[in-house]
Chains A and B, each alone.
Chain A
C-alpha cells in the first residue's frame, strides 16, 4: 500500500467502514430522517408550485426544472448539512478532552477526518438520498438530466463535497481554539443557507446580493451542482463553473492545511 506522510488509503477505508456500521445501528432515527426528507421534498415542491401559479416566468426556468432543483436541494442538504460535518465530532472530542488521541494517531489528521466524514456521507447517500430521490422521481416528477449534464453533475458534486468538507473542517479547527462553536455554527449555517442557493436559486437574487453570492465559496456547495443538473449551464459554461469549484477546492485546501498547522502548534503549547 502506498503511504505518503500518513495518508494511507487502506486505513481510510477502514475508518469509512466503521462509520458505516456506526450509522446503520440507529434504525429509528434512519426512518425518521427518511420521512423528514420526504416531507421536505413534498413541501418545497408545493412552495414553488404556488409561486409559479402567480407568475410562471419570473425565474427563467420552467416549473419542472425548478422543482427538480428544489428537491435536489433537500436531498443534498441531508448529506451535506453542516451538523453532519467533521466539526461536530471535533468539538465533541475537544469537550471530552480526548482530541489528542485523534491528533496523535499515526495518520494525517485531516485525512482521518475526511475518511470518517466520507463514510458518514456515503451511508446517508446510499440509504437516505438515493431512495428518496427515486421516490421523488415517481411522485414529484423529478427530471433526469442528459448524459453530459449527469457527468458534469457528478464531477461537480464531488468537488462540492470537498469544498463543504474543507469549510466544515476549518470551523472544527476554530473550535479547538474557542472551545465552543455553537453560536459561530449558527451564524455559519445561516450564511451558508442564504448564499449557497440551496433553497432559493442565486440567479434570482437582486442586485448586490447576487454579486456577493458570486464571490463567496458557498455557491460551490449547492448552487453549481444543482444548476448543472437542471441544465442551466452547458458546454463551456459548465466547464467554467467546474473551474471555479476547482479553484476554491485548491484555495480552501491550502488554507485549511495552514490553519491546521497553526492551531496544532497552539494546542501543543496549551497542552504542555
Chain B
C-alpha cells in the first residue's frame, strides 16, 4: 500500500508540472477534439449515405465510439506515457529507476499525466449523453454497473497491451514502432463493429490481440445485439482484463530482471 501512497505523490508532482503550461493544455485538448470530430464525421458521412453498417445504425456506432473514448481517456490520462520506456532505456535513465527503493513500475506510471485524455473524456461523455437521449435505453442497476465495470476493464486491457508492448524493449531496445502500429490498428478497430470484418479477423482480435473486449463485446451485451447463438465470451471483458494484466506484469518482471542497461 506504500506503493499506492507514493503513486499519489508522483501524480501530484506530475500535475503541478503540467500546470505550468496552460496554453499547451488548451491546444492539446482542442487538437484531440478536432481529431475526434474528424473520425466521427467520417463515420457519419458513411452512415448518412448507406444508412447502416452491418446491423448497426448511426446511434449504435456512436455508442461504440463513445464507449471507446471513455476507456481510452482513462488509459491515456494515466498511462499514455508507457511508450516513454524506450527513451528511458536508450538514454540509460532507466538505471536511476532501479536504484531507488520504489517499484520501477510505480515510478514509470507516475512520472507523467496526459491531459490530452481530457479531450477524449469530453467526447466520450458528450457522445454518450447524445446516444442516451436518442436511444432512450432503459437500463437496470445491473446494466449500469456492468457498463461502469466494462469502461474500467476496457481501459485496463489497453493499459495491459501497451504495457506488454513497452516491456518488449527490454529485449529489443526499440519498441515504439511496434506500439505505434498496434495503436493505429486499435484506433481503426474500435470505430467499427468487429463482426463486419469476417470470422478470421474476429478470432484475431478476440484471442491474439484482444482489442474486441475493449468496447465491442461490452457494447454487444449492453445494446442487446446478441445473436441467437450463445456466445459466452461476450461477457468475458473483466476476465480478459485480469488475464492480460497478469501477462503484462509477468513480462515486465522478466524484462526488468533481464535489463542490463544500454551501452557497454
Q: Which one, A36, A190, A205, A206, contacts B34 given CB within 8 A?
A: A190
Say yes or no: A36 contacts B181, CB within 8 Å. yes
B129 at the interface (CB under 8 A from A): no
B231 at the interface (CB under 8 A from A): no
Q: Which residue of A lies closest to B35 (CB)?
A: A190
Residues on A with beta carbons closer than 8 Å to the beta carbon of B177: 26, 28-29, 32-33
Q: Which one, B45, B189, B197, contacts A205 given CB within 8 A?
A: B45
Say yes or no: A186 contacts B34, CB within 8 Å. yes
Say yes or no: A40 contacts B196, CB within 8 Å. no
Given contacts A36-B184, A183-B27, A190-B34, contact A54 B41 (CB under 8 A): no
Say yes or no: B188 contacts A54, CB within 8 Å. no
Residues on B with beta carbons closer than 8 Å to the beta carbon of A47: 46, 53, 192, 196-197
Say yes or no: A46 contacts B201, CB within 8 Å. yes
Say yes or no: A50 contacts B53, CB within 8 Å. yes
| A9 CA to B35 CA, complexed, in Å | 40
Residues on B with beta carbons closer than 8 Å to the beta carbon of A199: 42
Say yes or no: A33 contacts B181, CB within 8 Å. yes
Given contacts A40-B188, A51-B53, A55-B50, contact A200 B34 (CB under 8 A): no
Closest Cβ of chain B to A154, distance in Å, is: 28
Residues on B with beta carbons closer than 8 Å to the beta carbon of A191: 34, 38
A58 at the interface (CB under 8 A from B): yes
A17 at the interface (CB under 8 A from B): no
Find residues 3-61 in chain A having any chain B CB closer than 8 Å to their own CB.
26, 28-29, 32-33, 35-36, 39-40, 42-43, 46-47, 49-55, 58-59
Say yes or no: B31 contacts A32, CB within 8 Å. no
B185 at the interface (CB under 8 A from A): yes
Complex interface bits, A49-84 against B, C-beta within 8 A gives 1, otherwise 0: 111111100110000000000000000000000000
Residues on B with beta carbons closer than 8 Å to the beta carbon of A26: 177
Interface centre among B34, B37, B174, B201 (most CB of A within 10 A): B34
Interface of A is mostly: helix
How many A-B residue pairs lie within 8 Å, measured between CB atoms? 92
Say yes or no: A204 contacts B198, CB within 8 Å. no
| A132 CA to B50 CA, complexed, in Å | 29
Q: Which residue of B lies closest to A59 (CB)?
A: B49
Say yes or no: A51 contacts B46, CB within 8 Å. yes
Residues on B with beta carbons closer than 8 Å to the beta carbon of A190: 31, 34-35, 37-38
Closest Cβ of chain B to A231, distance in Å, is: 20
Q: Which residue of A lies closest to B178 (CB)?
A: A32
A106 at the interface (CB under 8 A from B): no
What is the interface size of chain A, counting residues whose CB is below 8 A from a CB of the partner? 35
A131 at the interface (CB under 8 A from B): no
Given contacts A40-B188, A51-B50, A54-B52, contact A204 B35 (CB under 8 A): no
B92 at the interface (CB under 8 A from A): no
Residues on A with beta carbons closer than 8 Å to the beta carbon of B139: none
A194 at the interface (CB under 8 A from B): yes
Interface centre among A35, A39, A52 (most CB of B within 10 A): A39
B54 at the interface (CB under 8 A from A): yes
B236 at the interface (CB under 8 A from A): no
Say yes or no: A194 contacts B197, CB within 8 Å. no
Say yes or no: B178 contacts A206, CB within 8 Å. no
Find residues 145-176 in chain B having any chain A CB closer than 8 Å to their own CB.
172, 174
Residues on A with beta carbons closer than 8 Å to the beta carbon of B192: 43, 47, 50
Q: Which residue of B lies closest to A58 (CB)?
A: B49
Complex interface bits, B18-44 against A, C-beta within 8 A gives 1, otherwise 0: 000000100110111011011001100
B48 at the interface (CB under 8 A from A): yes
| A250 CA to B118 CA, complexed, in Å | 41
Q: Can you identify 28 A-B contacts, CB atoms within 8 angstroms?
A: A28-B174, A29-B177, A32-B178, A36-B185, A43-B189, A43-B201, A47-B46, A47-B53, A47-B196, A50-B192, A51-B46, A52-B50, A54-B51, A54-B52, A55-B52, A183-B24, A183-B27, A183-B31, A186-B31, A186-B34, A186-B35, A190-B31, A194-B42, A200-B46, A204-B49, A205-B45, A206-B45, A206-B48
Residues on A facing B (Cβ under 8 Å): 26, 28-29, 32-33, 35-36, 39-40, 42-43, 46-47, 49-55, 58-59, 183, 186-187, 190-191, 193-194, 199-200, 204-206, 209
Nearest first, the 10 closest Cβ-Cβ pairs linking A and B are A50-B196, A186-B31, A29-B177, A190-B38, A58-B49, A36-B181, A51-B50, A183-B27, A46-B197, A194-B38
A46-B201, A47-B197, A190-B38 given; name 15 further pairs at CB < 8 Å.
A26-B177, A28-B177, A54-B54, A55-B49, A55-B50, A58-B49, A59-B49, A183-B24, A183-B27, A183-B31, A186-B32, A187-B34, A191-B38, A205-B45, A206-B45
Residues on B facing A (Cβ under 8 Å): 24, 27-28, 30-32, 34-35, 37-38, 41-42, 45-46, 48-54, 172, 174, 177-178, 181, 184-185, 188-189, 192, 196-198, 201
